[in-house]
Copies of this chain bind each other. A is one copy, B any other.
Amino acid sequence: MMTDEQLREQLKQKGLKITPQRVAIYRAVMKLKNHPTAENIIEHIKLNYPNISIGTVYKVLDSLVENQLLKKVKNEKDVMRYDAIIHQHHHLYCIETERIEDYDDPDLDKLITKYFKQKKIKGFKVKDITLQINGEFKIK
């Protein structure tokens, strides 16, 4: 999550040209909470930017993910979803609806990190851990 200025800075640093499309797409992911799909993003952008191309949106999303400005969010179904929050965090998946919500919990992270510091998994080097917390929202 960042301001326009920071985004420009980041793009420059990663050697990506600052194009209105890239800025608009990043803004869209940021604005559309709840982990939009490519289609959600296109729909939103077309309002102010009617002739953006679908192919471009996918290419831009890919390049932003590659450069760690966005993250992909896995889901059971086959459409990819995107997240502008790239620091370590978890997700609440609603079993009934398609809702995916962010879940931040430094205490939990600490607990798990500490656990894996003691109990090593042999033959495997842990880089990061994401919890996929399935359940349902009580208030819709």
Contacts and interface: CB of A to CB of B under 8 A. Distances in A.
A133 B139 contact: no
Interface stretch (A28-36, A46-54, A107-115): A107-115
A125 interface: yes
A133 B75 CA distance: 16
Contact of A76 (B72, B115, B135): B72
Interface in A72-88: 72, 74-76, 78, 80
A137 B108 CA distance: 25
A15 interface: no
B103 A108 contact: no
A13 interface: no
A17 interface: no
Nearest to A65: B76
Interface in A87-140: 92, 95, 101, 103, 105, 107-108, 111-112, 115, 119, 121, 123-139
Interface of A: 72, 74-76, 78, 80, 92, 95, 101, 103, 105, 107-108, 111-112, 115, 119, 121, 123-139
